[in-house]
Structure 1
Amino acid sequence: MFVGFTAATGKDQSSAHYIMGWSFSSGGETPIAETLNLSELPPPPPNTAKKRGYNGKIIALIVALSTVVSIMFVLLLIFMIYKKRLQQEEILEDWEIDHPHRFRYKDLYNATDGFKENRIIGTGGFGIVYRGNINSSSSDQIAVKKITPNSMQGVREFVAEIESLGRLRHKNLVNLQGWCKHKNDLLLIYDYIPNGSLDSLLYSKPRRSGAVLSWNARFQIAKGIASGLLYLHEEWEQIVIHRDVKPSNVLIEEDMNPRLGDFGLARLYQRGSQSHTTVVVGTIGYMAPELTRSGNSSSASDVFAFGVLILEIVTGRKPTDSGTFFLADWVMELKTSGEILSAVDPRLGSGYDGEEARLVLAVGLLCCHQKAEFRPAMRMVLRYLNRDENVPEIVDNWGYSDSSSRSDLGGYVSSDRASSSYTSLSLTRISSSSVISGR
């Protein structure tokens, strides 16, 4: 005979079974087991059976590994962000560092109503200028120049204008507020100038409304532009050659203060260095004669363009046309014949100062001298206009040799001469208004 004990529970539970006492009888006359006194039985021991589940050490290990992985992921994310920023900093160019004020494209898009046509205030060889409102106040108006990036020249103009104009500060220069690059869009943001360009005040506005720019305004504009060029050539930390001085690049404020802008063709030089450009840039009619021969721009070539500009201000006539007319030639002939005041814009009638007109015309002719070394520096030009110095007399040949004829006047490029001159410069192309061949 065998005696044993057994117990069992379900597979999903655990339990402990204890035998605290037992009574057993085998054989004999009375095979009845002795009755147990339950009160005398010892209490059962505490239940030490472990519940099924994860071991505490395993749980701790899982938590620790999860923490380590999370920390490594965060560190990896921080490293990737830092690396991306580091790469961006490595490719920053000088102009981005020197002028970091970058506008958000979204803000410019909203400011110009999505660059609508009714916001256009001007067009140029490289893009369109829009009027915008950063806020509802009219004092927060801006001009947004959207450059057409259809060639490398557009990108070069964009960079040139930021690196040159971004750090310049003068009352007679357009103030560059900032810039924006968005996909293929290149944008420059300026102060908004309400009266538009000098070109429009001389030609477009009189045609539309009959309002003629007064003589006092013209005289002040001439002196203001001279002051701005003096700053560029002599007073800033570097020499800045504008290379495209003309009425459409002069903006006029409400008080008729002029601001020279559009520095897309400008070049910067350290003082004491020389220009080494070998390509022709500028606008036909305002280019100095030496540019068509060597392509080397200088402060003297800016002075020549300024001379043409102030002759245009006084006479109200374009510097050249499709024929053989050249403004400086015409004014010089009138001076030689003693009728220089006949060059004054006839729309002014008698509403001008004769002495001031003679002065400006004389300075303009001196600046348009065919030989660069005979042109005055802008400091002397300003002294002439302020009557601090007398204007030197201009010789009749105006810089030509005796064998040269008037038809060979090199200061202005006619269409025939332009084609022959630029054929020899393979890098040069001519647009409808400007000659642009690189930087």
Structure 2
Amino acid sequence: MNSLQEVYLDNNPFPSWEIPETVKEATSLKNLSLINCNVTGNAFSGPIPDLSGLQSLRLFNVRENQLTGVVPPSFTGLKSLTVVNLTNNYFQGASPLFDKSLAWDYLLWDFAKLVSLETINLSNNKLSGSIPKELATLPKLRMLDVSNNDFYGGVPKFREGVNVVTTGNLNIDKDGPVSPSSGGGSDSGSGNESSKKSSSVKIIVPVVGGVVGALCLVGLGVCLYAKKRRRPAKVQSPNTNMVIHPHHSGDSDAIKLTVAASSLNNGGGGGTESSYSHSGSANSDIHVVESGNLVISIQVLRSVTNNFSEENILGRGGFGVVYKGELHDGTKIAVKRMESSVVSDKGLAEFKSEITVLTKMRHRHLVALLGYCLDGNERLLVYEYMPQGTLSQHLFHWKEEERKPLDWTRRLAIALDVARGVEYLHTLAHQSFIHRDLKPSNILLGDDMRAKVSDFGLVRLAPEGKYSIETRVAGTFGYLAPEYAVTGRVTTKVDIFSLGVILMELITGRKALDETQPEDSVHLVTWFRRVAASKEKDENAFKNAIDPNIKLDEETLASVEKVWELAGHCCAREPYQRPDMSHIVNVLSSLTVQWKPTEVDPDDLYGIDYDLPLPQAVKKWQASEGLSQTGDDSGSSSSVYGSKDNTQTSIPTRPSGFADSFTSVDGR
């Protein structure tokens, strides 16, 4: 082992094996390359071996494996290293124990000990903190690229000839970050590419997350890439590429929640130089977003949806296709793969800002956003799975799908659930939100048939102090409020109108736009208004408009009539004539949970006839109890107006001087 100088075992997917401990005895080893060899890193039970004795080691490349544990800090002491590549493994755990005062988020000042470094490329990541001044002491450094990160503070003074790139760091030259999630979203692709090709000292290291401190990967140089992994004949297991750490509000950098995964552009070429290249849609940075968001890798979503197969499609919408998936622990999810034409012009920062908004929406009648994925131009949202599908399926397609039609009680409960969910958006969330695309296909049902509102791709934060914003018209014809369709001006009343249309659909069983109807009845709202106008003259027209699948009795008919009236108010032509969502909730809840008195037990009446006026009821009660109003000389303790010593509870006598009845003058 002492004379061993080079080991190349690239692209040999052996059965699971470990890097032997004896490798530390190869003190003359110069090149160790184990690319894509299914190395399992001590069976996932500990760190890779200590390499501190390999002082001649120049190349250490173990990318595309399944190494786990803590990256050994011994790398910082290997002065001969020129290339280290740890990409696409599952390293985790705390950073090496360096002085906290010298710590840098994800990186440490000990890189200044690597005196051979010529190029450090840290672009397009979520690194934060200040740029360590110790890096300015590197004698051979020619390029430092920290573009598109979240660094703040001043830039250290480097010697002449060192190219320092800091573009995309919004807080450079500021005392601290403006917000935890600030940072650029642009890609510095071509510029980074050229700098890599001219560099002789490189390292690529992915970050999977920090447990208590930031995860440190120490080497000759660091480029934190998180790209989707593409290995030939190798499928990523969902339970091995997630490392989740909860966000702690007290320290925005110390504890974060991240699920990261990455890939290189090629499937495992042999050369060290070419292995660093990346391009186009293959890129996917690790995105750490505050507020507890979950970042999920593209390979996990491909795996659980069978590579987005047709068999897994739950539905299609204006913003993309929704696929069903199931995680390794049995959790079922719905993955919305947004159309590239819809999101291609949407900046990364804007998309992440919307995600931050969406994850703050927590309500029992809103479909929960579980996570998201950014991979090149891909934008994927992961929601909780609702097994009973959409309200549209139950209302309009129940025969084709061999379901039972919804009875009126269930329809009323669904309407109330939707109203409560939207009420939360309008008034009960931390700020006011407008959905803008309420319709039956965006109302999902769980196993208990309780409804949740979904599809918040159109949710926009309403500006404080305003109740409307001007925006691009987006929604579905048939559910659009007239003022919104004409002017593009949106208020919460837009959602009220849409809910009114849904109430009409629940009552009639007809679609908002139904081409199967006669031409003058295609538009549900117009037809509904016409029937409502003739309702008093023709009661049968009203009854005939009700969905025949609703079994009508006297109580149900009265309930339907109230909802009919409410739906008409919701779809009033003028926004100010429509009720608020809280009023709709009150009306629907009064119909859903109606109070009814229980049967009265005669023993609970104590002999009092409550159907009589109070004076007569008292006299009758007194007679039945054998009580006297005259205060006779019998001295009976049962006398209603007995002596002052009588402690029985009874109606007291009227003091002398009081009138027989009260007038307004007495109301003082």
TM-score if structure 1 supplies the norm length?
0.67
Q: Kindly tell me: are residues 332 and 120 of structure 1, through their superposed partners in 2, closer, same or farther at Cα, counting changes over 3 Å?
A: same
Distance of 1:221 and 1:266 partners within structure 2: 21
Kindly state the Cα deviation for residue 110 of structure 1 after the two structures are TM-superposed. Answer: 1.2
Whose Rg is larger? 1
Q: Give the match's secondary structure for 2:302.
A: helix
Q: Which range is displaced more, 348-357 or 214-223?
A: 348-357
Q: Which has the higher contact order (CA 8 A, sep 6+)?
A: 1
Q: Give the match's secondary structure for 2:433.
A: strand
Distance of 2:343 and 2:467 partners within structure 1: 25
C-alpha RMSD of matched pairs (Å): 3.0
Query: Do the aligned partners of 1:290 and 1:296 also contact (CA within 8 Å) in 2?
Result: yes
The answer to whether 1:289 aligns with 2:482 is yes
Of 559, 563, 572, 1:356 maps to: 559
Of 277, 283, 286, 2:470 maps to: 277
What per-residue deviation string (whole Å, max 9, x for no partner) do you get for residues 312-367 of structure 1?
Answer: 11111011235442222222232332233332111224378112111111111100
Paired residue type of 1:146: R
Kindly state the Cα deviation for residue 260 of structure 1 after the two structures are TM-superposed. Answer: 0.5
Q: Kindly tell me: are residues 74 and 97 of structure 1, through their superposed partners in 2, closer, same or farther at Cα, counting changes over 3 Å?
A: farther
Higher helix share: 1
Query: Do the aligned partners of 1:126 and 1:154 also contact (CA within 8 Å) in 2?
Result: no
Q: Which residue matches 2:435?
A: 242
Q: Which residue matches 1:102?
A: 295
The answer to whether 1:166 aligns with 2:369 is no
Kindly state the Cα deviation for residue 203 of structure 1 after the two structures are TM-superposed. Answer: 1.3
Q: Give the match's secondary structure for 1:301.
A: helix
Q: Give the match's secondary structure for 2:334.
A: strand
Distance of 1:83 and 1:371 partners within structure 2: 49
Q: Which residue matches 2:372?
A: 179
Kindly state the Cα deviation for residue 167 of structure 1 after the two structures are TM-superposed. Answer: 1.1
The answer to whether 1:327 aligns with 2:518 is no
Q: Which residue matches 1:27?
A: none
Kindly state the Cα deviation for residue 291 of structure 1 after the two structures are TM-superposed. Answer: 1.2
Distance of 1:153 and 1:265 partners within structure 2: 16
Q: Give the match's secondary structure for 1:335.
A: helix
Q: Which residue matches 1:19?
A: none
Q: Give the match's secondary structure for 2:341.
A: coil
The answer to whether 1:344 aligns with 2:535 is no
Q: Kindly tell me: are residues 153 and 202 of structure 1, through their superposed partners in 2, closer, same or farther at Cα, counting changes over 3 Å?
A: farther
What per-residue deviation string (whole Å, max 9, x for no partner) do you get for residues 89-127 of structure 1?
Answer: 343579944454101112111111221111111111121
Distance of 2:353 and 2:544 partners within structure 1: 41
Of 120, 143, 159, 2:313 maps to: 120
Kindly state the Cα deviation for residue 384 of structure 1 after the two structures are TM-superposed. Answer: 1.5
After TM superposition, list the pairs within 5 Å mapping 1:169-248 onto structure 2: 169-209=362-402, 211-248=404-441
Q: Which residue matches 1:305?
A: 498
Paired residue type of 2:533: T
Q: Tell me, which stretches of 5 or more residues in structure 1 are unaligned?
A: 1-62, 389-439
Q: Kindly tell me: are residues 100 and 175 of structure 1, through their superposed partners in 2, closer, same or farther at Cα, counting changes over 3 Å?
A: closer
Aligned residues: 323
Distance of 1:125 and 1:83 partners within structure 2: 31
Query: Do the aligned partners of 1:341 and 1:357 also contact (CA within 8 Å) in 2?
Result: no
TM-score if structure 2 supplies the norm length?
0.45
Kindly state the Cα deviation for residue 154 of structure 1 after the two structures are TM-superposed. Answer: 7.6
Kindly state the Cα deviation for residue 170 of structure 1 after the two structures are TM-superposed. Answer: 0.3
Q: Which range is displaced more, 251-260 or 318-327?
A: 318-327
Q: Which residue matches 1:374?
A: 577
Q: Kindly tell me: are residues 227 and 78 of structure 1, through their superposed partners in 2, closer, same or farther at Cα, counting changes over 3 Å?
A: farther
Query: Do the aligned partners of 1:148 and 1:154 also contact (CA within 8 Å) in 2?
Result: no
Distance of 1:83 and 1:163 partners within structure 2: 20
What per-residue deviation string (whole Å, max 9, x for no partner) do you get for residues 238-274 of structure 1?
Answer: 1100000100111011111111011111211144224
Q: Which residue matches 2:149?
A: 88
Q: Tell me, which stretches of 5 or more residues in structure 2 are unaligned?
A: 1-55, 57-76, 82-111, 129-147, 151-168, 170-182, 186-286, 592-668
Q: Give the match's secondary structure for 2:363.
A: coil
Distance of 1:216 and 1:295 partners within structure 2: 36
Identity of aligned residues (%): 32
What per-residue deviation string (whole Å, max 9, x for no partner) do you get for residues 7-48 of structure 1?
Answer: xxxxxxxxxxxxxxxxxxxxxxxxxxxxxxxxxxxxxxxxxx
Q: Give the match's secondary structure for 1:386.
A: helix
Distance of 1:161 and 1:355 partners within structure 2: 43
The answer to whether 1:251 aligns with 2:424 is no
Paired residue type of 2:529: M
Distance of 1:194 and 1:148 partners within structure 2: 24
